[in-house]
Amino acid sequence: MNEATEAPVLFEERAAGGGARIGIATLNAPKTLNGLSLAMVDLLAERLDAWAADEGVAVVVLQGAGEKAFCAGGDLHSLYRAMQAQRAERPGDVLANAYARDFFEREYRLDYRIHTYPKPVLVWGHGIVMGGGMGLMAGASHRVVTEASRLAMPEIGIGLFPDVGGSWVLSRLPARTGLFLALTGAQVNAADALFLGLADHLVEQARKDEVFAALAAVEWTRRPDADAARLTGVLRAHAPAAPAPGPLRTHFDAVRDACLHASLHEVVAAIQALPEGDAWLDRARATLAKGAPGSARLAWELQRRCRLLSLAEVFRLEAVVALHCAAHGDFAEGIRALLVDKDQSPRWNPATLDAADAAWAARFFDSPWGQTDHPLADLGAE
C-alpha cells in the first residue's frame, strides 16, 4: 500500500453534471471497523470546511472502507491510555486530561458541523454504525442504511453514555424508545432505523456503484435545497420494496409501555420484566443487567435535561459530562474489561442503581468552565 491509501481518511472528488463535483470522504481503518481517531476527526473537519467553501462542490459523501462497518465507534484505546495517565498523576481533575479534552471538543464540533452543514451530506451507513459513527451519521441530510446495517449506542457497556449528540437524538425518538436504546444498547436494523427516523433511505449494498454513477450523472444546481431534492430522487429511485418490520417495531408497544414509567428504577424493572424467548429482547435485557448502573443514570438524566435544549447546548452539556466520566467515572473500567484485559467482568462503581442515584450523578453536571470559556461556547452563534 502506498502512503495515500494508508491515510486514515481518503478524499476524492468526482466530476458530475452541471459542472459540479461530488466530494467523497472514506474512513480508512477497516481493521478497527473504521474506529474514529482524533486524526480522522481533524482531517474530516478540515476537508468539510474546504468543501463547504468550494462553490464547485455540490454534495458531500461520507463512507467507510471495507464491508463490515461505516464506523463502529471512537478510538477507545487512546482515550484509555490518557485516562490512566491522568488518574495516576492528577486524580479527579476534570481538566487534567488534555487528550480527552481535545478529543471530545473536536469530535463534537465535527458532529455539529455535519448537523448544520450548508450543503447536502450523504452518509452511506453500511454495516456497523455505533457510537462515534452514529455521531457522524445523525446530522447528515441524507442517511442511507443497507440490508447489513446495525445501528446502536452501546455506551452502557463501557461506562459512558450515548454522547456525540446522542442525548439530543435519542430524546427525540417516539415514545421514549431512545431511552430504551440508551439503557440496553440494543441494535436496530435498517427497517427499524427507518421506522425511528434514524435513517432516511434503504438501498441494497449491491447497488452502491449504481447510486454513485447516478449521482455523477445528475445536473447539480449548486443550490442546496434543489440539490438536496435531486439527491433524494436518486436514492428513492434505487430503493427496494419496503422491508419487513424490525424487532423494535414488532415490540414497539411493549418497549413504549416499559419506558413511559416515571422513574429510572421503574423503567429498568419494566424492561427486565419484558417477555422472555425473543432473541432481541433477551439481548437487550442482558446488556442492561450487565451494564454500568452509573451509565444508566447519566443517560436518564441527560435525556431528561436535554429534551428542551438546543443542539448546541446539548453538545456543551455532553462535553462536561464526558470529561467527568473520563476523570472519575466508570469509563476507564469499561474499556479495560472490554478491550484491554478482555475479561468481560467490569467492576462498576457504583455497583447498583440504588447507589447511582440523582445525587450521585449531580457532580457530573458541574461544569469546569464558565459560559464564555467553554470550548464549544461558539456553537450555535453562527
Per residue in 289-327, pLDDT (tens digit) is: 999 999 999 999 999 999 899 999 999 999 999 999 999
pLDDT digits (tens, 9 = 90+) for 202-217: 999 999 999 999 999 9
- Amino acid identity of residue 114, one-letter, is I
- Sequence-distant (≥ 6) Cβ neighbours of residue 364 within 8 angstroms: 298, 301, 320, 321, 324, 325, 329
pLDDT for 211 equals: 98
With CA atoms as reference, report the closest residue to 14 among 24, 29, 4: 24
Is the pLDDT reported for residue 92 higher than 90? no
pLDDT tens for residues 271-287? 999 999 999 999 999 99
The predicted model gives 42-60 an average pLDDT of 98
> Which tens digits make up the pLDDT trace of 154-201?
999 999 999 999 999 999 999 999 999 999 999 999 999 999 999 999
Name every residue whose Cβ is closer than 8 Å to that of residue 45 and which is 6 or more positions away in sequence. Answer: 106, 109, 110, 113
- Say if residues 60 and 117 touch (Cβ distance below 8 Å): yes
* Position 50 pLDDT exceeds 90: yes
123-152 mean pLDDT = 98
3-state secondary structure (DSSP) of residue 65:
coil
- Between CA 184 and CA 74 the distance in angstroms is 19
pLDDT at residue 3, as a whole number: 46
Tens-digit pLDDT profile for residues 226-256: 999 999 999 999 999 999 999 999 999 999 9
Burial of 291 (0-12, 13-18, 19+ CB in 10 A): buried
Q: Which domains does the chain have, with CATH numbers?
A: 9-365 (3.90.226.10)
Nearest to 129 by CA among 94, 154, 111, 110: 154
Counting Cα atoms < 13 Å in the Cβ hemisphere of 2 gives 2
Q: What is the pTM of this model?
A: 0.96
Under the banding of pLDDT at 50, 70 and 90, the label for residue 381 is: confident
**pLDDT of 322:** 98
Check whether the bond before 350 is cis (ω within 30° of 0): yes
Percent of the chain with pLDDT over 90: 97
Query: Distance between CA 336 and CA 314 in Å, rounded?
Result: 28
The pLDDT score that the predictor gives to residue 1 is 44
Output the CA torsion 302→307→312→317 (10° steps): -20
Q: What is the chain's mean pLDDT, rounded?
A: 97
Under the phi-then-psi rule, with left for phi > 0, alpha for psi from -120 to 50, and beta for the rest, what region is 349?
A: beta
Task: Evaluate if residue 6 carries a pLDDT over 60.
Answer: yes
pLDDT score for 142: 98
- Kindly state the cell numbers that stand for 132: 462515534
Note the pLDDT tens digit of each residue in 54-84.
Answer: 999 999 999 999 999 999 999 999 999 999 9
